[in-house]
Amino acid sequence: MRDFNEQTITDAVISQFKAEDPRLQQILTSLVKHLHDFIRDVEPTEEEWFKGIQYLTDVGHMCDENRQEFVLLSDTLGVSILVDAINHRADAGMTETTVLGPFHTPHAKPMTHGAQIASAEELAKGTPTVVRGQVTDPDGKPIAGAKVDVWQASSEGLYDVQMGHGEADLRGIFETDADGKFWFRSIKPVAYPIPFDGPVGKMLVATGRHPYRPAHIHYMISAPGYETLITHVFVSGDEYLDSDAVFAVKDSLVADFVAVEDAEAAKQFGYSAPFYEVEFNFGLKPTA
């Protein structure tokens, strides 16, 4: 096993893999084939190859407990949404999925219906909003007791973990009632850039791409007997719906955030007019 040329090296490497786990064997075999095909296609100079090594190293060094630059790279190269599409081939009555993103945390607190998920500081800076939803099975039958984990960015486009104060903010966990319903108060989400002060941001600049994501609220909804639904609800009319930096928009996930001018209505939520209202219904997929 020596003297490989540009073609024979691929089978030589694959022949060395003798994984006990057949799935690992399959994944590495496919990885080496596609990786070598990529190299043969672009024929990198040694300087280009080393730039690639350095780029991956920089991406790795950017990762810490609050920042997952490889997830951002996967997102911005369309890999995350492709993996999502492969794993969630949705049928009628089931809500389409989209990317998890890097900002879900286990720190959201259980809250009661109508709770305000924004801190007083973030609420004061944002546009008051009332969010309602219902969780059903594919036939429209309500699912009671579903766990609805929500999170979103601030009016400045930052998630709590990016603010550096260590407090959970703009996230919460709700449980659906007997009608499968839940509601909470928050602020209207705004479009924001993904973190672009690292290697992924450099890639976006070098390729003439903007880092913006259209405004959205994240949902992770789980209930016994159903697959966990990870999705967003996007704000209709957002200027970035057709150029999301992570390719995650689906028409079925875009909802109208309706302005309410009624002062009396606002008052019952502790808001002053105008405020926004949005409603979205979620269909869960039964587990196989």
Residues of this chain, 15-54, that bind a second copy according to CB under 8 A: 16-21, 23-28, 30-32, 34-46, 48-49, 53
Q: Rule CB under 8 A: which of 250-269 touch a second copy?
A: 250-251
List strands edge to edge, sheet with 258-260: 181-187, 128-136, 275-283, 258-260
* Between 28 and 266, CB nearer to a second copy: 28
Name the residue among 14, 54, 5 with its Cα closest to residue 35: 14
Interface residue with a second copy among 241, 255, 278, 284 (CB under 8 A) is 241
Give the integer Cα–Cα distance in Å for 155 and 241. Answer: 18
CA-CA-CA-CA dihedral for 264, 270, 271, 277, to nearest 10:
-80
Least Cβ distance, residue 240 to a second copy (angstroms):
10
* Between 68 and 154, CB nearer to a second copy: 68
Give the integer Cα–Cα distance in Å for 137 and 15. Answer: 48
With tokens 């995350």, the residue in question is 80
Least Cβ distance, residue 243 to a second copy (angstroms):
6
The interface region with a second copy, picked from 131-139, 148-156, 238-246, 270-278 by CB under 8 A, is 238-246
Give the integer Cα–Cα distance in Å for 76 and 11. Answer: 31
With tokens 């979205």, the residue in question is 280
Which tokens belong to 215?
A: 């405004």
Residue 83 in contact with a second copy, rule: CB under 8 A: yes
* Between 20 and 264, CB nearer to a second copy: 20
Interface residue with a second copy among 22, 66, 74, 178 (CB under 8 A) is 74
Binding mask of the shown chain, residues 140 to 169, with x at each position contacting a second copy by CB under 8 A = ------------------------------
Q: Rule CB under 8 A: which of 206-225 touch a second copy?
A: 206-209
Least Cβ distance, residue 87 to a second copy (angstroms):
5
- Characterize the bridge pairing of strands 229-235 and 254-255: parallel
